[in-house]
């Protein structure tokens, strides 16, 4: 076989591969759009393959409720302060009965006087979405204002943390707070927050790895990870770094999927859902899982990198 024949064969394979990629883009958009239209509620989402640049979206710039997904913005601010030397991950925090709030997490059930560190509180805020731990972190940061100042400085136009959880705000709240509750964002900006960690925009590899470890240990695995990861992630590192949010009529998750084809960020937000069960079988939770399954199958047929650092 001549060199020209080899070159021609490689060229034809490359053309076919590119044609295949072009063909899958509308197919994925159609699949995701069909899932969104079939849902008994509203859906907005944004997915981005960080290596190829491929995207898929549905109403990605709509302002939406965050529920606990806004804790990702708190995590980003905390690590910016750690890098700047304004916050020490080893700094002590003492849990008091007066700090305890209801909802997700375990600290509300633990004893008054429990000694924690800032790192402990951040880990609980992410891994178990602990509301009490979240408020303790907000206090360490000096309130919600530093979080929102950081978001604004980084160019986020629609992402905002309104207040501590289950604690009456001292400062006046923006007029749109009753519409959104704890926080607001868009799927595109929520995905961008996760992408900032994946790309290590903080420019400190050790701190970025620390954030990702926390996110890879989120204990709820029934949304994005549901159909794409079946390994025992209590013993091997998960390939899905995620933060979810749940309200009666809303289910939200933003995730970094560490795929064999490269990292993929998916942010899916649902609201006004007919199914309001707090169950892994909640329709919106399954929708988020199906979206992730469709995206990963289209963009990474070889699957994900469970068990790899």
222 DSSP 8-state letter:
S
Q: Write down the pLDDT at residue 193.
A: 98
Query: Is residue 259 in a domain?
Result: yes
Which segments of 97-216 are extended strands (E)?
115-117, 160-161, 183-185
For residue 250, give the nearest of 221, 227, 279, 274 by alpha carbon.
274
Contact 250, 65 (CB under 8 A): yes
Model confidence pLDDT, tens digit, residues 5-23: 434 443 333 333 343 344 3
Asked if residue 172 belongs to a domain, the reply is: yes
Q: How far is CA 102 from CA 30, 244, 260, in A?
A: 41, 17, 39
SS3 37: helix
Percent of the chain with pLDDT over 90: 87
Mind listing the pLDDT tens digit for each residue in 115-153? 999 999 999 999 999 999 999 999 999 999 999 999 999
Predicted structure pTM score: 0.91
Q: How many domains does the chain have?
A: 1
Rounded Cα gap, residues 141 and 145, in angstroms:
9
Q: Is residue 249's pLDDT more than 90?
A: yes
The pLDDT value given to residue 307: 81
| Residue 231: inside a domain | yes
- Digit-coded pLDDT (tens) for 27-44: 999 999 999 999 999 999
Q: Please check the confidence at residue 95 and state whether its pLDDT lies above 80.
A: yes
User: What tokens does 257 get?
Assistant: 């999927």
Q: What is the mean pLDDT of residues 223-239?
A: 93
User: Residue 95: inside a domain, yes or no?
Assistant: no
| Predicted local distance difference test score (pLDDT) of residue 236 | 87
- Taking the C-alpha atoms of residue 181 and residue 248, their distance in angstroms, rounded to an integer, is 13
Mean pLDDT, rounded, for 275-300: 98
Average model confidence (pLDDT) for the chain?
92
Residue 254 forms part of a structural domain: yes
Domain membership flag for residue 18: no
On whether residue 181 sits in a domain, the answer given is yes
Q: Structural domain of residue 81, as residue ranges?
A: 28-88+143-299
Residue 102 falls within a domain, yes or no?
no
- Give the domain CATH number at 246: 3.40.710.10
């Amino acid at each position: 076989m001549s060199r020209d024949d080899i070159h021609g064969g490689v060229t034809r394979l490359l053309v076919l591969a590119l044609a295949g990629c072009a063909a899958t883009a509308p197919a994925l958009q159609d699949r995701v759009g069909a899932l969104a239209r079939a849902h008994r509620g509203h859906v907005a989402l944004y997915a981005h393959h960080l290596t190829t640049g491929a995207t898929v979206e549905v109403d990605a710039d709509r302002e939406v409720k965050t529920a606990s997904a806004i804790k990702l913005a708190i995590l980003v601010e905390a690590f910016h302060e750690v890098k700047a030397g304004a916050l020490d991950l080893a700094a002590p925090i003492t849990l008091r009965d007066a700090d305890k709030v209801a909802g997700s997490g375990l600290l509300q059930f633990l004893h008054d006087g429990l000694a924690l560190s800032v790192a402990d509180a951040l880990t609980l805020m992410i891994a178990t979405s602990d509301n009490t731990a979240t408020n303790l972190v907000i206090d360490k940061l000096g309130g919600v204002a530093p979080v929102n100042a950081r978001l604004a400085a980084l160019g986020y136009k629609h992402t905002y943390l309104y207040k501590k959880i289950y604690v009456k705000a001292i400062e006046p709240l923006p007029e749109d707070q009753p519409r959104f509750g704890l926080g607001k964002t868009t799927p595109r900006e929520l995905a961008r927050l996760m992408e900032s960690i994946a790309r290590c925009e903080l420019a400190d590899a050790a701190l970025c790895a620390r954030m990702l470890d926390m996110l890879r240990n989120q204990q709820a695995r029934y949304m994005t990870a549901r159909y794409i990861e079946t390994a025992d992630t209590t013993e091997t590192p998960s390939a899905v770094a995620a933060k979810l949010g749940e309200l009666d009529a809303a289910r939200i998750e933003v995730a970094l999927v560490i795929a064999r084809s490269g990292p993929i960020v998916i942010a899916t937000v649902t609201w006004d859902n007919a199914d309001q069960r707090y169950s892994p079988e909640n329709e919106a939770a399954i929708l988020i899982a199906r979206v992730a399954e469709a995206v990963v199958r289209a963009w990474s047929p070889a699957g994900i990198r469970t068990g790899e650092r």
